[in-house]
Amino acid sequence: MTTVTTQIKLTPEHGARPDVSMRSRLQDALPKIVLAPSFAITIVFVYGFILWTVYLSFTNSKTFPSYTLTGPRAYQRLWRWTFESDPPSSWYTSITNMGIFGFLYIFICLALGLFLAILLDQKIRGEGVLRPIYLYPMALSFIVTGVAWKWFLDPGLGLEQTLHQWGWTSFHFDWIKNKDFVIYTVVIAGVWQASGFIMAMFLAGLRGIDGEIMKAAQIDGATTFQLYRRIVIPLLRPVFLSAFIVLAHLAIKSYDLVVALTSGGPGGSAWLPSNFMYEYTFKRNEMAVGSASAVIMLMTITAIIVPYLYSELRERPR
């Protein structure tokens, strides 16, 4: 920090004294000095570590890291497992689950979020009560979400049991224990957690639309349905994009939910690639394979995020 000069009138001689210029040069560099640690941390602990992980994926690391390169063997194994569907390999299960979960989770969240936002935007009395009810699950951790839904979906204790007691004895709902359906319970819990937030995003988008456009469309004779389909939803395009990005990256990161809700499901049938990575790296002592799967996850998310970030940052030149 500079010393505060008490002088008000300055010495009139020409040129700066050397110590002054030294100090002013320090002043000039200060912003960069302040930013440097954070930037260095990011470079080392994010990008450096990513490279490290990439390196590990080309070794034959098992329980402990090994630094002898052995070529893309881990990737070859993953590639082979990708097509091993009968009986399914863990990797096959993980990526198919990712496909099912990713698609349903993103699609249902977007649809439900938009639907609820439009309903809430109809001058609803009690909006102030409903909105926080839809949104609160986002405050809970995946672990708590998982615990709650695990109980709710348990055939012996939860919904099935309750309906049996109410007299609907033929009702049968055991997806959480069924290896073919367990992934759909993850979708249910995931949608429950995130859809309220997506609703809030859409609602903010709706409230940001110029009211005069709506009035103009009504004068042009548009019905409410046409109004939304032709005017409002197209105007919400940026919100769709942001919501998609948020959901996609939440989906790929989802790990805790599977653990807490299903403990991996019967025979690992609920695994996502993130669970695969964790299990192979820390439990099955296949560090190279785990690293390779992490690299694949990273590349997937990069393909989605980088174009988005690029356009976001480029749109606002200084």
Partner 1 sequence: MSVIATPARQSTGGISARTVNRIVIYGLLALFALFYLMPLFVMLVTSFKTMDEIQNGNMLALPQAPTFEPWLKAWGEACVGLTCAGIKGYFWNSIKMVVPAVLISTLLGALNGYVLTKWRFRGHTLVFGLMLFACFIPFQSVLLPMATILGSLGRFGVTLRNATGLSFGLGNPTVNLVFVHVVYGLGFTTLFFRNYYEAFPTELVKAAQVDGASFFQIFRRIMLPNSMPIFVVTVIYQFTNIWNDFLFASAYAGTGDAMPMTVALNNVVNTSTGVVEYNVNMAAAMIAALPTLLVYVVAGRYFVRGLMAGAVKG
Partner 2 sequence: MAFLEIDGLRKRFGSVEILKGIDVDLEKGGFLVLVGPSGCGKSTLLNTIAGLETITEGEIRVDGRTINDLHPSKRDIAMVFQSYALYPNMTVAGNIAFGMEMRGVPAQERQKAIDKVAKVLQIGHLLQRKPSQLSGGQRQRVAMGRALVRDPKLFLFDEPLSNLDAKLRVDMRIEIKRLHATTGTTIVYVTHDQIEAMTLATKIAVMRDGEVQQFGTPAEIYNNPTNLFVADFMGSPAMNLIPATIGGNGNALSVVLQREAREPISLPLADAPTGLSAFHDRPIIFGVRPEALTDPEGAERNASNIATADCHIEVVEPAGSDTFAVTNLGGKAVVARLRADANIQPGTSTPLAFNLTKAVFFDPATENRIL
114 is a contact residue toward partner 1 (CB under 8 A): no
DSSP 166: T
Q: 3-class DSSP state for residue 156? A: coil
Candidate segments 12-20, 86-94, 130-138, 167-175, binder of partner 1 by CB under 8 A: 130-138
Please report how close the Cβ of residue 10 comes to partner 1 at its closest, in angstroms: 12
185 is a contact residue toward partner 1 (CB under 8 A): no
Task: Note the residues at the interface with partner 2 (CB under 8 A).
Answer: 4-10, 12, 14-16, 21, 24, 27
Q: Which does 263 bind (CB under 5 to 8 A by kind): partner 1, partner 2, none?
A: partner 1
Among 100, 230, 242, 284, binds partner 1 (CB under 8 A): 242
Contacts 24+ apart (CB under 8 A), 168-171: none
Write each residue from 148 to 167 as x if it is in contact with partner 1 (CB under 8 A), else as -, in one continuous string: xxxxx----xxx-xx--xx-
Among 50, 66, 177, 184, binds partner 1 (CB under 8 A): 50
Q: Which does 7 bind (CB under 5 to 8 A by kind): partner 1, partner 2, none?
A: partner 2
Among 79, 107, 168, 282, binds partner 1 (CB under 8 A): 282
168 is a contact residue toward partner 1 (CB under 8 A): no
Question: Each residue of 59-96: b (16+ CB within 10 Å) or e?
Answer: bbbeeeeeeeeeeeebbebbeebeeeeeebbbbbbbbe
265 is a contact residue toward partner 1 (CB under 8 A): no
* Cβ-based neighbour number of residue 26 at 10 Å: 11
Q: Which does 292 bind (CB under 5 to 8 A by kind): partner 2, partner 1, none?
A: none
Find the binding residues for partner 1 in span 53-112 (CB under 8 A): 53, 56, 65
Structural Rg of the chain based on CA atoms: 27
* Cβ-based neighbour number of residue 9 at 10 Å: 5
Q: Which two tokens stand for residue 102?
A: 């990713």
Amino acid letter, residue 212? E
Q: Which does 152 bind (CB under 5 to 8 A by kind): partner 2, partner 1, none?
A: partner 1
Contacts of 312 (CB under 8 A, 6+ apart): none
The CA-based angle 18-19-20, given to 5 degrees, is 90
Please report how close the Cβ of residue 312 comes to partner 2 at its closest, in angstroms: 23
Largest CA distance in the chain: 98
